[in-house]
Chains A and B, each alone.
Chain A
Amino acid sequence: MHTAAFSAAIFAISALAGFLGSLTGLGGGVVVTPVLILLFGVDFHYAIGASLVSVIATSSGAAAAYVREGFSNIRVGMFLEIATTIGALTGAHLTSVIPVADLAVIFGVVLLYSAWHSMRHHGDLPVDRPDPLASHLRLNGTYPQGGRKVEYRVTHVRGGFGLMYVAGLLSGLLGIGSGAMKVIAMDQVMRIPFKVSTTTSNFMIGVTAAASAGVYLNHGYIRPALAMPVMLGVLLGSLLGARHLAGARTRNLRLVFAAVVAVMAVEMIYNGITGGLQ
């Protein structure tokens, strides 16, 4: 295949991944990696390098909008980024040690879980007991609702911090944003309102990914000519997806997409176990 045709095909599939990824909240990066590996025969390391770059682009672009709206909790984000960046640094170094077959299996399992998580119903959990650490760290905040500010309290700070380390670890290991796990750490463990959790997660993804990106660059995972169509495609697709999200009935689309993602996840696990990926 000519370079131009190859790049155009990757751009198109990345745009589709970005569009569906932003509609479902899965993120485009996590979907584009198995496509590059399974459909285009791209090496695992190059695929996660290109995907990580697209993750930084989409999360920073989305965070720019959310931060302005006042939903993101900057202090929660900043504090938890200590955990995610240390995790990312660890994970990014581990990718050069762990065999690709094992990484493919881990990737498949995380992808399956993310697909399942994206289909779940989200309701805010009440704060069961106040955590004095949250007050000490000034993590409690407000978010806008109908022209006024709603106050919320944060709890289980240590548990959330620990889970954020794991989220960062997976992000660095697999070149993904780990948005699903970041949201779980905030809304399920720390009991932060869902909308604040998702937007703060988005805010954190860029910094977490940047911590991995340095290691990826220095090990040669990021090839500019491959990352170019992936980053531009996913970015364009997710911008269109975010616009489409406002009025669309997306339930059927989400189900179909979750099924496609699940098939790819199983394919990754299968290839990893049978030695199809080296």
Chain B
Amino acid sequence: MNDDQVDILISTILRWGVSLSATIVAAGGVWYLVESGSSRPDYSHFQEIHGISALLGLPASELMMLAGLLLLIATPVARVIFSVFAFAIERDRMYVVFTLIVLAILLVSIFSGI
């Protein structure tokens, strides 16, 4: 695999990730608006939660939007995972290590509160 092919595959991952997540968020959004009433949620006061599992009690339409957002956040992570393999195929050991460091930091962030 040469650098140009790597570029094209990274581009494809990013494009599909964003398109798919935007579609899911939009579909969940339509569902949410259809069943929403006249009172809107209050965003003026912040309520801290501890871990993403606290969001699992949300209505199904909001969970669908959340799923789309999770897919969006996973898109750059998928790009990094792909890069690990791409550098490994190029036998570029230094950059395999760099990419694994970035991946580890991302995983620490995502699993920091669970």
- The residues of A with any CB-CB pair to B shorter than 8 Å are 1-4, 6-7, 40-46, 53, 56-57, 60-61, 63-65, 67-68, 70, 72, 74-75, 78-79, 81-82, 85-86, 88-89, 92, 96, 137-138, 206-207, 209-215, 217-220, 222-229, 231-232, 235
Contact = CB atoms under 8 A, between A and B. Distances in A.
12 contacts: A2-B37, A41-B43, A53-B72, A67-B10, A74-B6, A211-B109, A217-B70, A217-B73, A218-B51, A224-B62, A228-B28, A228-B32
Contact of B22 (A41, A86, A231): A231
Given A89-B109, A212-B109, A218-B113, A53 B7 contact: no
A237 B59 CA distance: 29
Query: What are the 3 closest A-B residue pairs judged by CB atoms, nearest first?
Result: A218-B113, A214-B109, A220-B49
A79 to B, nearest CB: 6
Contact of A214 (B14, B63, B102, B112): B112
Nearest to B21: A57
B29 A228 contact: yes
A235 B11 CA distance: 17
Interface of B: 3-4, 6-8, 10-12, 14-15, 17-18, 21-22, 25-26, 28-29, 32-33, 36-41, 43-52, 54-55, 58, 62-63, 65-66, 69-70, 72-73, 75-77, 79-80, 83, 92, 94-95, 98-99, 101-102, 105-106, 108-114
Q: State the majority secondary structure of interface residues on A.
A: helix
B33 to A, nearest CB: 5
Given A214-B111, A232-B29, 17 more contacts: A3-B33, A42-B43, A44-B46, A56-B75, A72-B7, A74-B7, A78-B83, A78-B98, A89-B108, A92-B109, A206-B79, A213-B109, A213-B110, A218-B114, A224-B55, A228-B29, A232-B22
Contacts, number: 196
A207 B37 contact: no
Nearest to A63: B14
B54 A220 contact: yes
Contacts of B49: 218-220
B11 A67 contact: yes
